[in-house]
Amino acid sequence: MGDVKKVVLAYSGGLDTSVILKWLQVTYGCEVVTFTADLGQGEELEPARAKAELLGVREENIFIDDLREEFVRDFVAPMMRANALYEGQYLLGTSIARPLIARRQIEIARAVGADAVAHGATGKGNDQVRFELGYYALEPSIRIIAPWREWDLTSREALIDFAEKHQIPIPRDKRGEAPFSTDANLLHTSSEGKVLEDPWEEVPPYVYSRTDNPEDAPDAPEYITIDFARGDPVAVNGEALGPAALLARLNELGRRHGIGRLDLVENRFVGMKSRGMYETPGGTIWHAAHRGIESITLDRGAAHLKDELMPRYAELVYNGFWFSPERDMLQALVDQSQAHVTGTVRLKLYKGSVAVVGRKSPHSLYSLRHVTFEDDAGAYDQQDARGFIRLNALRLRLLAERARRTGG
């Protein structure tokens, strides 16, 4: 396997990717470049640098990039404009991070002259698809190494044995069998596997890390406002914030009130069902607020068309087709729809729930003159409804007459 000279590895510094780093060196005899992305996962990332150096990676081949602002601005925000929910529930926190990681990996590969990229996703999950579709879309001739599909380290014991053989430090808490696996970024934390594999069993309390127990949340509701400009949130409670800081603020509010927990059995792209627990506190508030401001600024036809297309958009993101032409086409439609989605939403946060309780906009299509039950001063002639109903009923009447004639 000596045909690979230099590979860029998506590297967390954990047991799996540290084993992968050494395995690449041993199996391919190649130079390894590590890339660690700060997406707001809340972990100290500098230990990844020290560990990579310990495993023989040269200092100039270690990349640790703060991508939080780019992540929220260029990936989370466009997806939120679409109100994307996979299978009607999942806010796509893991899915939306993968194209950014893939893009930065390819950029680094070009910069250092690497001829391959590698990732630590397993052969059973969606992430292998998301990473690799991203790689190929950006660099069609790139060589991809997916160790979990190549090696014979098929158990945690085998990984630990390999680590010990090659003097890879193993934290004490990583030696035992992990009760579940997690993935985190500024948008969400996901947990799956082990104690979560039986979909009948309730998620144990210790699995939750991003949200307080709703039952223990404050007994008094908290009211907040979010300002939107052209479909994107720009301020919380009147304070202007950049994309990453705004999502972080919403995360704080959501955590305190236990908002954003989701226990989901989903359909993976690779064909199997899996059960995961997602915590998306700030994203849940953002999604509710965005639907709230759209309710008074989007025309009915535009709003309903968006709702029809949303499942397709969400499926593209979930399946790894962020860089596809069809996602670009849908994004153009979504972004055009947001031209007048500007205004303020007031929300009530209380014990795991978020409710829109007020909305206003300089571009509002809500007309009190037309909707009021009081005197509308001639804004709406109720007699017009008779012809409207009769025209819409025409085909139903014809169907009913035929049924009478034919007896069925």
Query: Which position has the higher pLDDT, 370 or 2?
Result: 370
* Neighbouring-strand partners of residue 229: 232
To the nearest 5 percent, what fractions of the chain are helix, strand and coil? 45, 20, 35
Structure tokens at 170: 């193993």
286: nearest Cα among 188, 172, 150, 362: 188
pLDDT at 155: 84
pLDDT mean over 363-370: 86
**Distance between CA atoms of residues 136 and 143, nearest Å:** 9
Contact 107, 33 (CB under 8 A): no
Rounded to the nearest angstrom, the gap between the alpha carbon of residue 41 and the centroid of all alpha carbons in its chain is 13
pLDDT at 385 over 60: yes
**Mean pLDDT, the chain, as a whole number?**
94
**Distance between CA atoms of residues 68 and 290, nearest Å:** 21
Rounded to the nearest angstrom, the gap between the alpha carbon of residue 2 and the centroid of all alpha carbons in its chain is 37
pLDDT at 375: 72
pLDDT at 177: 63
**pLDDT band at residue 173 under the 50/70/90 scheme:** low
Q: Which of 74, 181, 295, 335 is catalytic?
A: 181
Give percent of the chain with pLDDT exceeding 70. Answer: 98
Between helix 243-256 and helix 281-297 the angle, nearest 10°, is: 110
Place of tokens 């036809």: 301
Chain length of the chain: 408
H/E element holding 370? helix 368-371
pLDDT in tens, 257-299: 999 999 999 999 999 999 999 999 999 999 999 999 999 999 9
Contact 207, 277 (CB under 8 A): yes
pLDDT at 73 over 90: yes
Strands (E), 305-376: 343-350, 353-360
Structure tokens at 129: 């698809």
pLDDT mean over 14-20: 93
**What is the bridge-based pairing of β-strands 62-66 and 31-38?**
parallel
Give percent of the chain with pLDDT exceeding 90. Answer: 87
275-293: b (≥16 Cβ within 10 Å) or e: bbbbbbbbbbbbbbbbbbb
Query: Which position has the higher pLDDT, 298 or 369?
Result: 298
Contact 256, 212 (CB under 8 A): yes
Q: Which of 127, 212, 227, 232 is catalytic?
A: 127
pLDDT mean over 160-177: 80
Cα angle: 89, vertex 90, 91; to 5 degrees: 115
pLDDT at 359: 98
pLDDT at 146: 96
Contact 254, 351 (CB under 8 A): no
pLDDT mean over 371-397: 86
**pLDDT band at residue 368 under the 50/70/90 scheme:** confident
**188 burial type by CB count under 10 A (0-12 exposed, 13-18 middle, 19+ buried):** buried
Query: Which position has the higher pLDDT, 238 or 384?
Result: 238
Stated pTM of the model? 0.93
**Distance between CA atoms of residues 357 and 31, nearest Å:** 57
The yes-or-no answer on residue 191 being catalytic is no
Lowest mean per-residue pLDDT among 3-7, 44-48, 247-251 = 44-48
pLDDT in tens, 97-149: 999 999 999 999 999 999 999 999 999 899 999 999 999 999 999 999 999 99
pLDDT mean over 67-87: 98
Place of tokens 């790139």: 142
pLDDT at 378: 77
Sheet of strand 222-229, all strands in order from the earlier edge strand to the far edge? 239-240, 232-236, 222-229, 343-350, 353-360
Q: What are phi and psi of 91, to 5 degrees?
A: -85, 10
**pLDDT band at residue 2 under the 50/70/90 scheme:** low
The yes-or-no answer on residue 181 being catalytic is yes
pLDDT at 372: 72
Q: Which of 16, 183, 212, 232 is catalytic?
A: 16
228: nearest Cα among 84, 362, 70: 362
pLDDT at 1 over 60: no
pLDDT at 88: 96
User: Please, where are the H alpha helices in 12-89?
Assistant: 15-28, 46-54, 68-71, 77-81
Domains of the chain: 6-68+93-177 (3.40.50.620), 182-298+340-360 (3.90.1260.10)
The yes-or-no answer on residue 115 being catalytic is no
